[in-house]
Amino acid sequence: MSVGITKARELGVSTVGCASTGNTSASLAAYAARAGLRCIVLLPAGKVALGKLSQAMFHGADVFSVRGNFDEALEAVTALALDGELYLLNSVNPFRLEGQKSIGYEIVDDLGWKSPDRIILPVGNAGNISAIWKGIKEFYDAGFIKEVPRMTGIQAEGAAPIVRAVEKGVDYIEPVENPETIATAIRIGAPVSAKKALRAIYESEGLAETVTDDQILSAQKLLARREGIGVEPASAASIAGLIKLLDAGEIDKSEHVVCVVTGHLLKDPNTAINACKEPIEVDADINALSKILKQD
């Protein structure tokens, strides 16, 4: 988003905008505030996690709650952009992908200038997977790495047009009319970068797989309780996908795998709270506390 807003400033626009499942709007609102630009965001009503909604509002964006899903909101904001009302900063914007590709650079850098065997990531609008592949290919073409990773995209079962396309071996998607999943960040039926994502998966001899909401939630908990890493549900889709593909023998245990986890736990506090037991109410008394602790 930093690259996108910098370009918006260079182009001299006064208003930027996006449709969002939440995170893009939070980011755009913050960068637009810093750049002194008006920011308009369209969010699917009732389907944006609290942390993201509060960021977009608090950074001063004009927030519209659209009666419809993300795909419909994106259509509406695209029409506004074509009308000249705003400069669109969804990941369909080529400068966004130029920024996002640096995730690919960072992975290679973090691994001591080596490529992992595989990169697994959640796929919604399909910007990240396309952009990371672009970054990786640039490093490969420049001779910085000798191998490339298999790009592996994970989608929620109720929002999986790219996985269905890969199952059929085709390079186009059939949009999912009413996408549904607890992982609101990837609740997208018509990913705008689908073609690029499919190219990334095919060119890299990667995979695409679905996971259920239950698999997402248990991977989210596992990551939090085994590693101390708190992520929002969409992010945990990559870990859930890794577990599923390992169990199915599609991924070998010897592989060097990087899972990208995309969003912090507190972006979606409600899902986190709903997944846990309520705190035990107790007097501030050592005897009462030790009695309870002994019961556990």
Ligand X SMILES: Cc1ncc(COP(=O)(O)O)c(C=O)c1O
Name the site residues for ligand X (rule: CB under 6 A). 21, 23-24, 91, 122-128, 185-186, 232, 234-235, 262-263
Cβ proximity to ligand X, 50 vs 114, nearer residue: 50
* Rounded CA separation 286/173 (Å): 61
Runs of H (alpha helix) within 183-250: 194-203, 213-222, 233-247
Provide the minimum distance between the beta carbon of 153 and ligand X in the complex, in angstroms, as a whole number: 8
- Report how far residue 240's alpha carbon sits from residue 154's, in angstroms, rounded to the nearest whole number: 8
Least distance to ligand X from the beta carbon of 186, Å? 5
Nearer to ligand X (CB atom), residue 2 or residue 114: 2
Smallest gap from Cβ 240 to ligand X, in A, equals 13
Q: In what order do the strands lie in the sheet with 87-88?
A: 62-66, 38-44, 15-19, 87-88
Give CA separation, 199 vs 66, 148, 205, in Å. Answer: 32, 14, 10
Smallest separation, CB 24 to ligand X (Å): 6
Task: Record the tokens describing residue 189, joined without a space.
Answer: 């039926």
**Tokens linked to 222:** 């596992």
Least CB distance from residue 133 to ligand X, whole Å?
A: 12
- Based on CB atoms, which residue is closest to ligand X, 3 or 186? 186
Q: CB-wise, 81 or 259, nearer to ligand X? A: 259
For the record, the structure tokens of 35 come out as 């750049």
Q: Decide whether 128 or 289 has the Cβ nearer to ligand X.
A: 128
